[in-house]
Structure 1
Amino acid sequence: MRIKFILILSFVFLFVTCSASDNRSNAGADSAGLEKAPDFSVIDLDGNTLTNTDLMGKVVLINFWATWCPPCRQEIPDFIEIYKELKDSGFAILGLAVSDRESNVRRFVKDQGINYPVAMAPDALVAAFQPGQYIPATIIVDPEGNIRDKHVGVMDTTMIKRIFSELKK
């Protein structure tokens, strides 16, 4: 009975941490006084080095996620679709897997056909971006390298297109 209680409590905790949402957005705000995105360099699962300077001039979604998180898994098809549509128009996505094994992430990326760069999130990068305690968490960076929003919860194509059109002006 005690084991069953612990399992149920663990499931509830996992569900709550994965599904919290904070839909505040300052994507259209003036760039004066905005926080600059931290400098970073990651090696994606394909072995390519990706830095913040590589992404300058683009609207960037930096998505903190995990293979075991249901809301994270829910938004990935929309990310795949929108990346395919906008990648040649000054748009980028960087998926940063947290609290997961690289082997699980590699398998998931392959099985889902993820078409944007994915890397394991180094602890220092998580600390630098401070995405919060819940996932999925997406940091939205404007073409000048300013953090424009920190969105917690599932994002969909409509939301992403709105943010892109506001920031790409």
Structure 2
Amino acid sequence: MSEKKKNKKKNRVIMRSIILFLLIAAIGYTLYNNATAEDVSVLKVGDEAPDFKLVDLDGESHQLSDYKGQGVFLNFWGTWCKPCAKEMPAMDRQYEAFKEDGVQVLAVNIAQSDFEVQSFADQYNLSFPVVIDKTKSVMTAYNIIPLPTTVLVNPEGNIERIITGEMTEQDIEGFMEEIKPE
């Protein structure tokens, strides 16, 4: 065999060995990731609502478990989300109508700056607590993907309903009625 053919064959063996090694490494990495991935279960109606503690724009802490005995209208949103902006005034009006009946609203912003969220809250003159999930830990715990998403938590602390997408004022009123304590 000529020297040229030997070098070509040697180079081919080296290249194939490198490709084989990379494939084995990729498969190993995938298997390792799947084995060690955090097991985040999908929440469903009837599950206990995961507890959390977040701070509102006034610096006050809000822990979900502190609202036990009341209905909680838990709304996940962002300032850039057009449907979120459309439903906020209706949520605020219904909050005013239902807060004396034991229905609370917690608007959970997903990791935006204090300035952006405060400007939004001022623009819509919101009267309910607005908290910021800076680390997205609450978003992860609740498996929130589209915004807006609203989770209705009944007075016992269980998930009554999960609503994705924009709600009308009539929807909001009906949902608040649904979680109002007896």
TM range (shorter): 0.7 to 0.9
Letter in 2 for 1:136: P
C-alpha displacement of 1:129: 1.2
Higher relative CO (CA 8 A, sep ≥ 6), structure 1 or 2? 1
Please give the alpha-carbon distance, in whole angstroms, between the structure 1 residues aligned to 2:82 and 2:125.
17
Please give the alpha-carbon distance, in whole angstroms, between the structure 1 residues aligned to 2:178 and 2:81.
29
Partner of 2:120: helix, strand, or coil? helix
Q: Which has the larger radius of gyration?
A: 2
Q: Percent identity?
A: 32
Please give the alpha-carbon distance, in whole angstroms, between the structure 2 residues aligned to 1:80 and 1:165.
15
Runs of 5+ consecutive residues of structure 1 not aligned to the other structure: 1-25, 27-33
Counting only pairs closer than 5 Å after superposition, residues 10-159 of structure 1 correspond to structure 2 as 34-121=46-133, 122-131=135-144, 133-159=145-171
Which of 150, 154, 179 is equivalent to 1:167? 179
- Aligned-residue CA RMSD (Å): 1.7
C-alpha displacement of 1:160: 2.2
Letter in 2 for 1:148: E
Deviations 1:19-63 (A, max 9, x none): xxxxxxx6xxxxxxx100011111111111111122111111111
TM-score for the superposition, normalised by structure 2: 0.70
Deviates more, 1:110-119 or 1:150-159: 150-159
Letter in 1 for 2:149: A
Aligned residues: 137
Please give the alpha-carbon distance, in whole angstroms, between the structure 1 residues aligned to 2:123 and 2:176.
27
Q: Aligned in 2, Cα 1:167/1:108: closer, same or farther, shift over 3 Å?
A: closer
Please give the alpha-carbon distance, in whole angstroms, between the structure 2 residues aligned to 1:81 and 1:145.
24
Letter in 2 for 1:138: T
Partner of 1:37: helix, strand, or coil? coil
TM-score for the superposition, normalised by structure 1: 0.75
Where is the helix percentage greater, Structure 1 or Structure 2?
Answer: 2
